[in-house]
Structure 1
Amino acid sequence: MTSFFGSVFWLLVTLGVLVTFHEFGHYWVARRCGVKVLRFSVGFGKAVWKRIGRDGTEYQIAAIPLGGYVKMLDAREGVVPPQLQDQEFTAQPVWKRILIVLAGPGFNLIFTVAALWLMFMLGRPDAAPIVTAAPQSMAAVAGVQPGDRILAIDGRAMATWSDSLDAVGNALLDRSPLPLTVRSSNGAQKQLVLPLDKLPPGQTVDQYLTTLGLELAPPPPVAAAVLPGEPASLGGMQVGDRILSIDGKPVPDFEAMSKLVQQSAAISPKLAVVVERNGNVVPLQVAARHESLQGQPLAWVIGVSGETATLRYGPVRALREALVDTWRNVTQTFGMIGKMLGGQASTKNLSSVIGIAQMANASAQMGFAWFLQFLAMVSLSLAVLNLLPIPVLDGGHLLYYLIELLKGSPLSEQAMAIGQYIGLVLLFSLMGLVFYNDIHRLLLS
């Protein structure tokens, strides 16, 4: 599947799942509050499929899959039969209307926790947080050395490269000094400080990361796993062996080892491998095998893999981590919005459906666990976006009802109409900004 069609497909999957779940929240709570639901639609525009349920609700999938809606019985949109007056939306107590409005974002948050919980139980494959620093970069000047392993960032323990990158990315928006705990390749632990306060304001996170120069390093040439019955195992290699050389050529890291296996085995499959084991140098003879793994092109393999990091927990720990991650991301998202409004963070960091489609495709290619995490983050973003006090969004309606609670009566039709116009202007302005950002990035790439 090409990148374009893959992006479109996974965007439709993402929107289909998340919009359905969001709108189901409104639908489910509305029904529980005694409100009649006339239509449940996934997508906008002309229906491509629909049916009438036993409850009288029209369920449909529409042609434009960029949203959805729940249409409730509402006196503002037409005459309500006398026998249905008690099921009409505006006739409900204000607390019921608030619950119905909150249900969409609330269900998005529930989905976020559930997706992260499943992701943690399945296990998300990742790279170990072993880093290097680009020459003369900010990270290099701060003391980051090739082969350093990140142990903690600002006091929070790090187990994977992705989590480390995420923590650094969020810290870059604050542009304040960032404490880093690392362990050198020789085993020594050291405390460093990345001087993010010296970064110029108004740049994107990607630009900041380039200036910082902190990069993922290839894993060390250590056998983290040796497959039974494969050439390395038959040749006597053991887990924990550090590979020093292949056919007399030194092995600086695991990526170099993989390349040397291909080069040397192409000349002769019988490889002279020297490893370090418990402080002793041990020579081995390994006969590489030419085969195709999981549909990949033919290659020389010896059945050994380097160090990786997989986040996997049991059900209870996974739920706790999912709740912690959700809360952390909610606070970070609101914090980022505040920084953008205050001019401390660039609006160039925002993305439209174009960027979401690209990320959806990329995460799907990385595996189901990664796609689950992506769905969780987009679902959380939808929840936060919908809670913003902008008329036409759930947060705007919530604002109306909170004002009604305070003043004891609903806002006038004129005030709400003005609010709708303001909301549409704000929403279309935001859409224009994020589309501009993505198109600009595409033109520069």
Structure 2
Amino acid sequence: MTVLLTIVYLVGIFTLLVAAHELGHMWVAKRFKMKVEEFAIGIGPILARLWRGRDGTLYTIRAFPVGGFVKIPGMLPDEEHIEGSFQSKPLYARFLAVLAGPVASILFGYLLFVVIGLTAGLPSLDDPTPQVRMVMPDTPAQAAGLRTGDVLLAINGEPVRSAEEAGKIIRANANKRLQLTLQRDGEPFVVAITPKEVEAEIDGKPQKIGQIGVLWHVQRKREPFLQVLSHAGLMTVGMTVGIIDGLRRMIFGQGNIHEVGSIISIASVTNATARLGVVELADFAAKFSVMLGIINLLPIPVLDGGYLMIFTVEAIRRRKLSPEAMARVQVVGLVIVLMIFVTVFSLDIYKLLTGKLIR
């Protein structure tokens, strides 16, 4: 896939997810009669003024599609006197207006899961011919030479009848050498592979399991409406729990810093996913939306979670932070975000140079 097409897909997904996130902020802000001056997709100079609503809100597209914002006067304490400003509203209204963005992102992810389930069906691993859909970088599967399209026939000489069965065998054999019989272009071949031991949460309990780093081809089946809603809910909750657990492990030094990524990793995953089809690209967008919502809840100033943390402190102290204190907190948050960005961007450059990005 060309670089240009990857950029188009990536910008399209970013625009859609940012719009959903910012719509959450704006909708709740307007419910509390806050004056929304601008709803912007992107940052930087204005490229297009789309329209101005009856309530005066200007809808714009800006130059760099890496974010967006809802402009409300009075985001700083010293602007409190402005009618309809952010700071003129009660604490609970400000809290809910900020919380609405991450919640909208999570709900939009859920909605995408529902749409996928209704149009393409729910995933099923009962395919009688387990086929490799994607090989992840820097994994036992990549080291063993597995490729997209390889069909798994047997493990240790025993026939494998589905991807689900293959997954169970691999998970149960961490750090144990396995003989995989596969077929490529009609020709069978055998490779030796040792599943890497990783920790995963299964049924709410952390367990050691084996992984080789492949995604299997997934067939989809049409299911009843209520089952689709239930599956979408389970996917959303599972994603949320997984992201929170990953962040917890990273914070306490139990995770792998190489598992995080910047825009380069996101572009790489977008490129690889787009090759699998529209359904997989939509599934990626749904997961990305949930992730966007959770990440924005981190208690880092300049993120939504940072504002929620400040509001919580104000509620405990029963008074607002001074403009000077707010400015200092924002600077600290900006420094933290920039440090994280530089770190993950540098790691992605290393992955790119060493061939460890998903291709």
Q: TM range, normalised to the smaller chain?
A: 0.7 to 0.9
Structure 2 residue 160 is matched with structure 1 residue 148: yes
One-letter amino acid matched to 1:72: I
Structure 2 residue 29 is matched with structure 1 residue 59: no
> What does the per-residue CA deviation read over 1:127-153, in whole Å, with 9 as the maximum and x for residues that have no partner?
73838997x99xxxxx765642467xx
Structure 2 residue 305 is matched with structure 1 residue 408: no
**Which of 364, 372, 380 is 2:282 aligned to?**
372
Aligned-pair identity in percent equals 30
Determine helix, strand or coil for the equivalent of 2:321.
coil
**Which of 100, 111, 117 is 2:97 aligned to?**
100
Change (3 A) 1:216 1:363: closer
- In 2, distance between residues paired with 1:325 and 1:104? 20
- In 2, distance between residues paired with 1:57 and 1:369? 35
Structure 2 residue 19 is matched with structure 1 residue 7: no
1:76 CA drift (Å): 3.4
- In 2, distance between residues paired with 1:146 and 1:351? 38
In the other structure, the counterpart of 2:231 is: 321
One-letter amino acid matched to 2:38: R
One-letter amino acid matched to 1:56: G
Conserved in 2, the CA contact under 8 Å of 1:131 and 1:149? Answer: no
- In 2, distance between residues paired with 1:369 and 1:17? 16
One-letter amino acid matched to 1:94: L
> What does the per-residue CA deviation read over 1:311-364, in whole Å, with 9 as the maximum and x for residues that have no partner?
542321111000011101101101011111122111111111122122223323
- In 1, distance between residues paired with 2:214 and 2:273? 20
Conserved in 1, the CA contact under 8 Å of 2:79 and 2:85? Answer: no
Conserved in 1, the CA contact under 8 Å of 2:77 and 2:323? Answer: no
> What does the per-residue CA deviation read over 1:15-62, in whole Å, with 9 as the maximum and x for residues that have no partner?
110011111110111000110101111011111111322211111101
1:102 CA drift (Å): 0.5
Determine helix, strand or coil for the equivalent of 1:12.
helix
Change (3 A) 1:216 1:342: closer
Conserved in 2, the CA contact under 8 Å of 1:352 and 1:438? Answer: yes
One-letter amino acid matched to 1:121: L
In the other structure, the counterpart of 1:264 is: none
- In 2, distance between residues paired with 1:195 and 1:42? 42
5+ residue gaps in structure 1? 138-142, 152-157, 179-193, 199-208, 218-306
In the other structure, the counterpart of 1:385 is: 295
1:425 CA drift (Å): 1.2
Conserved in 2, the CA contact under 8 Å of 1:29 and 1:103? Answer: yes
Larger Rg: 1
- In 1, distance between residues paired with 2:78 and 2:323? 15
Conserved in 1, the CA contact under 8 Å of 2:174 and 2:211? Answer: no
- In 1, distance between residues paired with 2:157 and 2:304? 49
Conserved in 2, the CA contact under 8 Å of 1:131 and 1:214? Answer: no
Determine helix, strand or coil for the equivalent of 2:254.
coil
- When normalised by structure 2's length, the TM-score is 0.75
- In 1, distance between residues paired with 2:215 and 2:94? 49
Kindly tell me the number of residue pairs found equivalent between the two proteins: 307
5+ residue gaps in structure 2? 133-139, 145-154, 176-194, 200-208
Determine helix, strand or coil for the equivalent of 1:414.
helix
One-letter amino acid matched to 1:425: V
In the other structure, the counterpart of 2:44 is: 45
Q: Say what the alpha-carbon RMSD is for the aligned residues.
A: 3.6
Change (3 A) 1:144 1:60: farther
